[in-house]
Amino acid sequence: MTHLIDPATERVFKRVLAPLAFVILATGLYHNAYLTNIGTGVSLQPISAFCYSVILLAAMTRRRDRPAYAVATVLLSLALGLSAWRITEALFPGMTDAVETVLPALRLDGVTGQGRFAIETASVAAALSLTLLSERVSLRAAGLLTVVSMSAGSYVIAHFAVHLLFWNLDASIFSILALMACNAALFIRYRATAPVKALHCRRTRAMLWPLLLASQALPWGAAFKISQAYDLSPSQIPGIEAGFGLTSAALMALSFWVADMVGQNQAAMEKLAFSDPLTGALNRAGFHRDPRHRRPSSLLLLDLDHFKTINDTYGHDAGDEVLKRVVATAKDLFGPARTVTRWGGEEILVWAEAMPDRALAKIGEQLRAAVEALDLSDLAGDDVPVPRITASIGYGRFDPAHETIREAVKTVDTALYVAKHSGRNQCVSAIGRINAPVLSVMDFVKCDACMADARAHGRPDQPCNRRCMALTQLDEDAPALQRHSA
């Protein structure tokens, strides 16, 4: 995957969210430099601003823009290193004192400027940087770390809420807003990656959004209630901060986990409902459910020739294996852009985008040849010859402005019957130069003897004295199906 954000979302991100975030960072740095009388805690510390800026820029970088992507990787590594060193400095001061005595520049808690590079900020910056770096290895890991980053951000926001409600403004509003912007950037970037996609998936978003809002509202509401009911001493506030912060982070992570599990279960149930359990292809319900199948397209209906002989000679397990291989062959041949449906029994329906008649005839012939070339030697026994399978194919177009999908399938089904009764192992087009009415199987049965008689006299295209239909070669690659009358 070279691009993680769809174009519409990318435009919103670059035109709205990113400029707003950089305005917040610039305002915080301006406050740091010129508005020192308001208090040091409110200011945005320069290292915090650098880390947030790097994260935002990296979140906007496309993976296919290799030079920019490489620069983003270096800057993210630097931001991660600074954050990790600040965490080490706070947790193990004795370990870092010796190094900082030799290299005073490494003392991050003493950087010039107002504010401070708090351990909470460093932890969140480290989580955000690590998330963006992890996509170089695994998108799944990036999705999981996004939840970790959002949970860490939830802890910091709850921490800020307690500070605000107890009138202790020793927390930077600029840092909080920049943190929220960075979390939103990761949320947008990994919107199609589990478990973040649970927020966008129609199956789970109705459940997850209320849970997330509750996880964020609970610490604010509880802290407000406590601030109104109790007169707490300053020594009690850190414990309340930690308790509400951990509760908020745990609730957010739990919400994502529950939504991801529910989404996986619902996806499994939908797969059972809308796919064929034997071959893994769509079933009819799954085919009609796909919105792509309601736009102009091409259809190919394949039926395996003499499939009953395979079941009778080699057993139903061998027949099932043949069906699996035919479906796998169709999927490999056409790729994910086209859908393969087990229409019924040994009939396989392939949906493809609208294309010219010659191109459709070509892919139909490719599919027929691929089925004929299947290696089934492993299905043969000691006294049973190697099975050979062929397919008859009917193909045509679907135009929703003039017909329903069921009528289009019926038309290609008629072409398939013609292929069956004309010798099998061939492709027949339902596309004529005139708008022929839909033909029924009974029409073909009525004229079967007539067509055989016409071929015997060397006139295969000549209509007979009663209703019939014949294959007319309209051009070199696209035989057409027409109805002739006496």
Distance CA 191, CA 198 (A): 8
DSSP letter at 396? E
471 with 445, same domain? Answer: yes
20 with 55, same domain? Answer: yes
Last residue of a domain, one of 226, 252, 272: 272
Last residue of a domain, one of 245, 272, 299: 272
What pLDDT sits at residue 477? 34
Q: Is 278 inside a domain boundary?
A: no
What pLDDT sits at residue 425? 92
Residue 454 contacts residue 462 (beta carbons within 8 Å): yes
215 with 353, same domain? Answer: no
Give the total number of structural domains in the chain.
2
Contact partners, residue 8, CB within 8 Å, separation at least 6: none
Candidates 466, 482, 470, 477; CA nearest to 430 is: 482
258 with 381, same domain? Answer: no
Candidates 425, 432, 288, 306; CA nearest to 349 is: 288
Find the domain containing 107 and state its range. 7-272
Backbone angles phi, psi at 304, to 5 degrees: -75, 135
Is this prediction's pTM over 0.85?
A: no
Q: Is 408 inside a domain boundary?
A: yes
Q: Is 346 inside a domain boundary?
A: yes
Distance CA 334, CA 352 (A): 8
Segment 197-242, tens digit of pLDDT = 777 776 677 777 787 777 777 766 776 777 677 776 767 777 777 7
Strands 427-429 and 468-472: unpaired
83 with 103, same domain? Answer: yes
Strands 339-344 and 297-304: unpaired
252 with 389, same domain? Answer: no
What pLDDT sits at residue 434? 30
177 with 123, same domain? Answer: yes
Q: Is 116 inside a domain boundary?
A: yes
CATH code of 340's domain: 3.30.70.270
Residue 340 contacts residue 280 (beta carbons within 8 Å): no
Contact partners, residue 276, CB within 8 Å, separation at least 6: 282, 283, 342
446 with 345, same domain? Answer: yes
Segment 383-401, tens digit of pLDDT = 778 888 999 999 999 998 8
Q: Is 36 inside a domain boundary?
A: yes
331 with 471, same domain? Answer: yes
Distance CA 51, CA 54 (A): 5
Q: Is 279 inside a domain boundary?
A: no
What pLDDT sits at residue 394? 93
307 with 232, same domain? Answer: no
Tens of pLDDT along the chain (486 residues) come to 334 555 666 677 778 888 888 998 898 888 877 776 555 556 788 888 899 999 999 988 887 788 889 999 999 999 999 888 888 877 877 655 555 554 454 455 544 445 567 788 888 899 999 999 999 888 888 888 888 888 888 888 777 777 766 655 556 788 888 888 898 888 888 888 888 877 777 667 777 778 777 777 776 677 677 767 777 676 777 777 777 777 777 887 887 788 778 778 877 888 888 999 999 899 999 888 888 888 899 999 999 999 998 888 888 999 999 999 999 999 988 887 788 999 988 999 999 988 888 899 999 999 999 999 998 888 877 677 888 899 999 999 999 888 888 899 999 999 999 898 888 999 999 875 333 333 433 344 334 555 565 556 555 544 443 333 333 333 333 333 333 322
268 with 300, same domain? Answer: no
Distance CA 31, CA 25 (A): 10
What pLDDT sits at residue 87? 85
What pLDDT sits at residue 313? 87
Segment 53-92, tens digit of pLDDT = 999 999 888 877 888 899 999 999 999 998 888 888 778 7
What pLDDT sits at residue 367? 93
What pLDDT sits at residue 458? 55
Q: Is 1 inside a domain boundary?
A: no
Identify each DSSP E strand in 193-235 by its residue range. Answer: none
CA torsion sign for 416, 418, 419, 424 is positive
174 with 229, same domain? Answer: yes
DSSP letter at 298? E
Last residue of a domain, one of 216, 238, 272: 272
Contact partners, residue 479, CB within 8 Å, separation at least 6: 428, 429, 471, 472, 473
What pLDDT sits at residue 70? 92
What pLDDT sits at residue 437? 37
Candidates 395, 394, 393, 397; CA nearest to 355 is: 397
Q: Is 315 inside a domain boundary?
A: yes
